[in-house]
Amino acid sequence: MSMNVLVAGATGKTGQLLVRELLHKGAKPTALVRDISDTSTLPDGCDLRKGDLTDLPQDVCAGMDAVIFAAGSGGDTDAEMTDKVDRDGAKALVDRAKAEGVQRFVMLSSVGADNPPEDHDLAHYLQAKHAADRHLMDSGLTYAVLRPVALTDDGKSPNILFGDAVDQSATAARADVAEVLADAALMGTMDGTALDMQSGKAKATA
């Protein structure tokens, strides 16, 4: 039986790739969308469920085996909206998932969210992500937190690096991020971990 996976942020650049990755792996993705969301980019086979991260229905995670938070308030939003979506919205989705007995929750976070700096251009965003990550890890749910470095629209890379092997100044292809998130949700490849991630490069041949 295929797994039912709720995806928050499914219409975003990474989310669109993620939904396709889930379908490719035999899962049944459901996109969490607002009334104003452009769902035209979502593939056939992806169901829709209405819900706004700033005001989530209590039963938004009903019937789901796993939930992936891949949403974001966007780079141009103010601190208040960052808190509403990236912090409070993510925390609320965690709570809804736990109430419905969801098997696994996967969080797309950001490099630097484990120890957010105070004197950084993205300080407020990273602090919001940190709070959301911590709420998930303390929730009692089976969790995974992925913290990629700067995202690109490149295709899949030959290898992916995690944890201490990650160069903080490197990049991560959204295609790689989508694959890692899908595997984490469906196969538990990252259960109980919070890891930095980057895309690798093919080794040069002599």
* pLDDT for 65: 98
Extended strands (E) in 160-201? 160-162, 171-173, 193-199
Nearest CA to 177 out of 54, 19, 37 is that of 19
Q: What is the dihedral of CA 26, 31, 32, 34, to 10 degrees?
A: 180
Compute CA distances 141 → 97, 135, 136, 157, whole Å.
8, 10, 7, 31
Report CA 29 to chain centroid distance, whole Å: 14
Cα separation, 105 vs 142, whole angstroms: 6
Model pLDDT for residues 104-163, shown as the tens digit of each residue: 999 999 999 998 877 777 889 999 999 999 999 999 999 999 999 999 999 999 999 999
Q: Which residues pair with 108 in a beta bridge?
A: 146
Report CA 85 to chain centroid distance, whole Å: 13
Q: Residues near 76 by Cβ (< 8 Å), separated by ≥ 6?
A: none
Domain spans of the chain, in order of start: 4-199
Place of tokens 């919205």: 89
Buried-state track 89-104, b at ≥16 Cβ within 10 A, e below 16: bbbbbbbbbbebebeb
pLDDT tens for each residue of the chain, 206 residues long: 689 999 999 999 999 999 999 999 999 999 999 988 999 999 999 999 999 999 999 999 999 999 999 998 765 678 898 999 999 999 999 999 999 999 999 999 999 999 887 777 788 999 999 999 999 999 999 999 999 999 999 999 999 999 999 999 999 999 999 999 999 999 999 999 999 999 997 655 54
Cα separation, 50 vs 129, whole angstroms: 23
Report CA 65 to chain centroid distance, whole Å: 16
Cβ atoms of 134 and 159 within 8 Å: the answer is: no
Instruction: Report the run of H or E that residue 97 belongs to, with start and end.
Output: helix 90-99
* pLDDT for 19: 98
* pLDDT for 74: 65
Sign of the Cα torsion 66, 22, 85, 116 reads: positive
Place of tokens 């797994």: 3
4-199: which CATH topology? Rossmann fold (3.40.50)
Nearest CA to 194 out of 151, 133, 138, 149 is that of 133
